[in-house]
């Protein structure tokens, strides 16, 4: 299990060996990395949910404690949905491209590829120090150039995660870059399309 804690950090520097290790997909071997998968997906879920929290403190009845509880719980829900639903989309796409792997392995590839999104939480202390409550209120100091910079940084973490996903699919299946990229592009496009559709309701 300690090996997987090290690999969770290593995936940011040398991702290929980490994803190759995911080829071992027995129930016992997958259980050894379950804690790391849970941690990364939950933190990534919190990071994503905070993007939609720009007006959370507009209501006077809410305070920092409400925000912390909401971020933790809603982040967990996002993590759960993302892990299983986006994992299912990835599994369907790689299956269509000839994968013989399991749904569980696709979920684990997705989880470790999401490590940069979880890492984006390092922006939290900096943004809080600069903007305080304005980060979670409509208008304020975070609506200018500084806010745009933080948004671009977050998108950079998303792009990093997408790149890791391609590396992961390629390493796990031993595919060419083009084949892995096509499978990942379709799954990401489908995820974005579903997200946009749901946002209308």
Note the pLDDT of residue 146: 62
Residues 106/31, Cβ–Cβ less than 8 Å: no
Q: Give how far Cα 50 sits from Cα of 53, 63, 105, Å.
A: 5, 15, 28
What is the span of the domain harbouring residue 112? 2-199
pLDDT level of residue 67 (50, 70, 90 thresholds): confident
For the stretch 150-189, pLDDT in tens is: 889 999 999 999 999 999 999 999 999 999 999 999 999 9
Q: State pLDDT tens for residues 47-63.
A: 999 887 878 887 888 88
Give the pLDDT confidence score for residue 140 in this predicted structure. Answer: 65
Higher local confidence (pLDDT), 46 or 125: 46
Where does residue 95 rank: exposed (0-12), middle (13-18), buried (19+ CB within 10 A)?
middle
- What's the pLDDT score for residue 183? 97
Please count the structural domains in the chain. Answer: 1
pLDDT at 201 over 70: no
């Amino acid at each position: 299990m300690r090996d997987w804690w090290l690999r969770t950090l290593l995936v940011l520097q040398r991702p290929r060996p980490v994803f190759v290790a995911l080829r071992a997909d027995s129930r016992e071997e997958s259980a050894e990395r379950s804690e790391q998968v849970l941690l990364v997906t939950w933190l990534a879920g919190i990071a994503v949910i905070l993007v939609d929290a720009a007006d959370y403190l507009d209501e006077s009845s809410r305070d920092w404690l409400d925000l912390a509880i909401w971020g933790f719980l809603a982040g967990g829900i996002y993590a759960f949905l993302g892990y299983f639903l986006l994992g299912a989309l990835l599994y369907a796409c790689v299956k269509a491209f000839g994968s013989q792997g399991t749904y569980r392995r696709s979920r684990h590839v997705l989880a470790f590829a999401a490590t940069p999104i979880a890492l984006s939480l390092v922006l939290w202390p900096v943004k809080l120090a600069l903007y305080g409550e304005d980060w979670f209120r409509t208008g304020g100091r975070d609506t200018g150039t500084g806010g745009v910079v933080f948004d671009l940084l977050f998108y950079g973490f998303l792009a990093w995660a997408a790149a890791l996903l391609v590396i992961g699919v390629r390493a796990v299946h031993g595919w060419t870059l083009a084949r892995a990229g096509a499978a990942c592009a379709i799954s990401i496009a489908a995820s974005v399309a579903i997200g946009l559709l749901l946002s209308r309701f």
